[in-house]
Structure 1
Amino acid sequence: MKCLTLKPLSYCLTRNGLTGLALFVSLLLSSAAFAWGERGHHLIGHEAARLIKDIESTTQKKKGLGYFFNDRCIQIGHLSNIPDTSWKIFSRKKVKESNFSTHFIDPEVVLGLPDSEKEILNYTNKIKRLPNDYKEAFKKFNGKQSHLPESKEQKVQFYKDVGTGPWHSQFLYDQLVKALRCGKNKKTSKKEVYASDIQLPLIDKESPVNPTYICKEDRPPEDDFHAAVALAGVLSHFIADLAQPLHTTANYDGWHSGHGKIHVYFESLVLQLLGEDLNAEVAKLIRDKKFQDKIWKEVGLPLKRRNSIAQLSLNLTAQSYQLIDEVEKLDNTYAIIVKGKPLPWSKARSKEKNSYAPKRKPADDATVLKAFRPLIVKRLAVGSFLLAKIWMQAWNDSGKPDLSKFNAVSFPYLFNVPYIWPDYAQ
């Protein structure tokens, strides 16, 4: 199998870079699902990186964890969009196919639809009880009949049809822990290591066979901590995805409930137009102890357990799923001018489905922005708070490396990250 080591970052930019304007237009016009759009993903990663220094333990503070992330908050915000830009839009076909299903989970494919709104709590408990081990989930559901309406004769292709969001978060977390642990276990080089000498020990390849992170004993620890920044940044994206209610359902764009085209309207068009104080509002909320305790009570668990990040992600999925109805009620009450029609599941790929879409007010309508803002702020805050907790646990699990010597200019700025192949799907 042919493996290519990472090319210089300038090479990646030449191959994959687009101007900010072109990227912005691509994000808005794409029919694919981009949770939170560019602004939302950047905000979640950025604010999580700034939060750690305010909630870390004394030991974490002494070893520089908080400032390691805080110094890179803008970079991590940028990296959080890589899975929706370089990996999803500009990459070759094999990457697109592999990457697509990592951004969501459609529990209805294996659990069926909830019987009614009153049964949502029981239904979300079923989501929490899905296997947190990917291989176990694959064995249990792959090849079985789909539970989606009008799809009873279809066999489930688990990776493609159900999505792997929770398990992908676990995978990237494990890679992050490996990188931090490898850097910790190496002796600090007596020779000064310049930023220009640092390499990113990730593998870019045609087929997911080899590990995607490699601990190279002959390289300085700076390489591994550089990789940790990359892995923490892209992990940010997938936690944020699962905090977005419409990334936790097969009805992700609202077609089957009369809310066609709700996805981009909610997560990108409206969010992009919220005021400049959005970051400040999220930053204030994630530092509120009552908010932190409430969220952790709803989705938290002891993070030392096996597959705990996958389980935390399933709990987050369940919490998000409960809010789908709220998104649709806001749409009905404040945005929709002319009602749409529910699209039969059998017509999910029909060319005529646009005729089922409702007509909405423009996203910049003041009433729309005011109505959607509280929910958007809370979900951004949930993603950001949980992400900070996950990064802190990764540091603990890796043996608590001393990061105090690595300030913002210790490593090259990461503009891009090669696609990280999910080894759990082999």
Structure 2
Amino acid sequence: MFEQRYRINISNQVFLLFFFATVAYSRPAGKPQWGFYAHKRINRLAVFTLPPEMLGFYKKHIDYLTENAVNPDKRRYAVAGEAPRHFIDLDAYLDTTKATLPRSWKQAAERYGEDTLALHGIVPWHIQLAKFQLTEAFKSQDAKRILKISADLGHYIADANVPLHTTRNYNGQLSGQQGIHGFWESRLPELFSTEYDFFTGSATYVTSPQKAAWRAVFDAHAALDSVLRFEKELTDQVGETRKYGFEERNGQTVKVYADDFSQKYHERLRGQVERQMRASVKMVGDFWYTCWVDAGQPDLDTLARDAAAVVDGKEEVAEKQSWWKRLFTVRPEE
């Protein structure tokens, strides 16, 4: 698993940096990149769960929160330590009870070591860290940092609600279902999310962010069996030749999961993708709201009245690492 997910030799690293930079900006505007569509939609919808005291500030910068919802994915191949923040392989642990898999980072690191935790993913712990960071940003009334961390936190929360982000078999590579990750997380939302009901109600205070983060990954993991089993059963039923189709994208003909196959799979899941996206929207709004409350409910209307003075729509990629160090750092392989 370590070889599959992390090890890339030095020559390949150079290629990957340029390859993913090219791919990230070569997709047509009307089609989402891998997972980008859902992440942007979730952050955008979460804004409307906020109370009036927060809504003005967040709605003013809703385009920033939407576009920068995908920044953590863009950093995966350039920033050391970023990749483990997106997943946790619950099935890598023989026992996931609190006694064996501590919910606090300090206790978990003491038991397993930080390297082992990073190998199997740290998303529930990183959500807790990002929650603390956003609370501190609210306390210091740093508008730019509030927006940056809010966008990032929304991404990690959404990832925690994806069933395939909770398993070593994250892309079906262990069960002969290669590509199912993008199918579930990107293709299905692209085709069907316009039909989803995203009314989740108002954001509510999270009494225990730690418990909420862990509950999200365990709930997502509980849906994993259906994700894999239904795709396998449908493939056996219709055959490989009817499973895929072709679409024109960016002037090129590309292979995709066929609309009919996608429709049948989506129906078998019985609203699962919609439920997980709704859960993400609600959880993102809840965490933003909780951070604001824990910071003493600062007056956001006084922060950065001119949106252009706060953000320029692009994330700063000053990650306190030199280009040389980042270039030769081990990176994840999706």
User: What TM-score, normalized by structure 2, do the two folds share?
Assistant: 0.74
Q: Is 1:230 matched with 2:148?
A: yes
Cα deviation code 1:29-53 (max 9, x no counterpart): 9xxxx6xx1101001111001221x
Structure 2: distance between partners of 1:260 and 1:314 = 27
Q: 2:198 aligns with which of 277, 280, 283?
A: 283
Q: Tell whether 2:76 aligns with 1:88.
A: yes
CA RMSD of aligned residues (A): 3.3
1:174, 1:335 → 2: CA distance?
A: 44
The correspondence for 2:117, drawn from 127, 151, 159, is: 159
Provide closer, same or farther for how the CA distance between residues 408 and 309 of structure 1 changes in structure 2, counting only shifts above 3 A. Answer: farther
Q: Which runs of 5+ in 1 are unaligned?
A: 1-15, 113-122, 144-156, 184-223, 297-301, 341-357, 422-426
Shift of 1:370: 5.5
Does residue 403 (structure 1) correspond to residue 297 (structure 2)? The answer is: no
Paired position in structure 2 for 1:327: 227
CA distance in 2, matches of 1:77, 1:335: 35
Q: Where does residue 15 of structure 2 map in the other structure? A: none
Deviation string 1:358-411 (CA, Å, 9 cap, x unpaired) is: 983442423523642722111111011011000000001111100123456262
Look at both structures and tell me which one has the larger radius of gyration over its CA atoms: 1
SS in 2 for 1:369: helix
1:70 aligns with 2:59: yes
| Alpha-carbon shift at residue 258 of structure 1 (Å) | 3.9
1:172 and 2:69 matched: no
Contact 2:42 2:280 in 1 (8 A): yes
C-alpha distance in structure 2 between counterparts of 1:376 and 1:69, whole Å: 26
Deviation for aligned residue 1:412 = 2.9
The runs of 5 or more residues in structure 2 that have no matched partner are 1-19, 246-256, 321-334
Aligned residues: 284
Q: What residue is the counterpart of 1:417 in the other structure?
A: 316
- Note closer, same or farther for the CA distance 1:17–1:180 as it changes in structure 2 (3 Å cut): farther
Distance 1:134 1:71, change over 3 A: same
Written as runs of structure 1 = structure 2, the 5 A alignment for 1:79-228 is: 79-85=68-74, 87-89=75-77, 91=78, 95=79, 97-111=80-94, 126=97, 130-142=101-113, 157-183=115-141, 224-228=142-146
Residue 335 (structure 1) shift: 4.7
- In structure 2, how many angstroms separate the alpha carbons of the residues matched to 1:141 and 1:234? 26
Does the CA contact (< 8 Å) of 1:128 and 1:318 recur in 2? no
After superposition, the Cα gap between the structure-2 partners of 1:339 and 1:140, relative to the gap in structure 1 and judged at 3 Å, is farther
* Alignment CA distance shift 1:21-1:337 (3 Å): farther
The structure 1 segments of at least 4 consecutive aligned residues displaced by more than 6 Å after TM superposition are: 16-20
Q: Distance in 2 between matches of 1:24 and 1:100?
A: 26
User: Does the aligned pair in 2 maintain the 1:337–1:361 contact within 8 Å?
Assistant: no
Normalised by the size of structure 1, how large is the TM-score?
0.59
**C-alpha separation between the residues in 2 aligned to 1:367 and 1:110?**
34
Tell whether the 8 Å contact from 2:243 to 2:261 is kept in structure 1 after alignment. Answer: no
Instruction: For residue 413 of structure 1, report the CA deviation from its aligned partner.
Output: 3.3
Q: 2:218 aligns with which of 318, 334, 337?
A: 318
CA 1:398–1:247: 2 relative to 1, 3 Å? same
Deviations 1:235-294 (A, max 9, x none): 11100000100001111122333433211121123332336x25xx3433x23x8xx9xx
Q: Sequence identity, in percent?
A: 21
Is this contact kept in 2: 1:336–1:361, CA < 8 A? no
Post-superposition offset of 1:161:
1.7
Q: Hey, what's the Cα distance between the residues in 2 that align with 1:248 and 1:128?
A: 19
